[in-house]
Amino acid sequence: MPRVSEQHLAARRQQILDAAVALFSERGFARTSMSDVVRESGMSMGAVYRYFPSKADLVIAVGEGHGGEVDGEFPAEGARDLLARLAAEVGPGSSHARLSVQVWGEAAVEPDLAAEVVPIHQRLEEHLTQLLRAGARPDQHGQDDEAIAQVALSAVIGLAALVAAGVPVDHGRFVAALTHVVDPREGATPSA
C-alpha cells in the first residue's frame, strides 16, 4: 500500500476546513452538523472524523485558521495601514465578517476556542501597539497606545458584526473615522 504524503494529508484537511468555513458562514455553527460537513467536503464520514474527531475540534480548527489569517497575513507599514487591511477583511462584501462574528461568539462559550483566538487577538493588539509607538509624532509620546489599539481593534470587530447583520456601512467613512481615532490629525472626521 503506498504511503500517503504529508501534502495529501494537508490538502484533505484543508478540503474539510474549506467545507466547514463555507457552511459555518452560511448557516452558523449551531445549524451545521458533521454530516453537512461530510457532504460538503465530498469525503467519507470516516475520513472527516479522522481529521476532526468532533464538531468542537472542527470549530476550534476553523477559529485557529481564521485567527492565523489575521495574525500572519497583514504585514503593515504602519498602524493605519494595518487597520485599513483588517477593516477590508471584514468590511462590506467580505465573506469573513459572518465567520469572524461567529468565532468570537463561540469563543465566549467555548473555552477551548477562546484559548486559541484570544492569544491571536492579543498578539495583534501588541503588534498594533508597537506600530502606534513606532509611528508616533513627538506630540503623541505619552499617549495610551495600548488603549488606542484596544479601541481600534474593537471597532473592527464591531464592523464585522454590523456587516454580518446586514447593516449598511460606508467602508471609506469607517476607515477615515478609525484613522482619526488612531491619529486625530490624520483621516477625516466623517460627516453625517
* pLDDT of residue 142 exceeding 90: no
pTM: 0.77
Please give the Cα distance from 175 to 180 (Å, whole number): 8
Domain boundary among 53, 76, 94: 53
Both 114 and 145 in a single domain?
Answer: yes
Candidates 51, 60, 48; CA nearest to 113 is 60
Cell numbers at 160, concatenated: 464585522
Q: Are 19 and 37 in contact (CB under 8 A)?
A: yes
Both 24 and 97 in a single domain?
Answer: no
Both 122 and 150 in a single domain?
Answer: yes
**pLDDT tens-digit readout, 69-122:** 454 555 667 888 888 888 998 988 887 888 889 889 988 998 988 888 898 899
Candidates 157, 33, 178; CA nearest to 89 is 157
Instruction: Kindly state the average pLDDT of the residues 47-69.
Output: 81
Both 78 and 45 in a single domain?
Answer: no
Task: Report how far Cα 104 is from the mean position of its chain's Cα atoms.
Answer: 9
Task: Give the residue numbers spanning the domain of 177.
Answer: 59-192
* Domains of the chain: total: 2
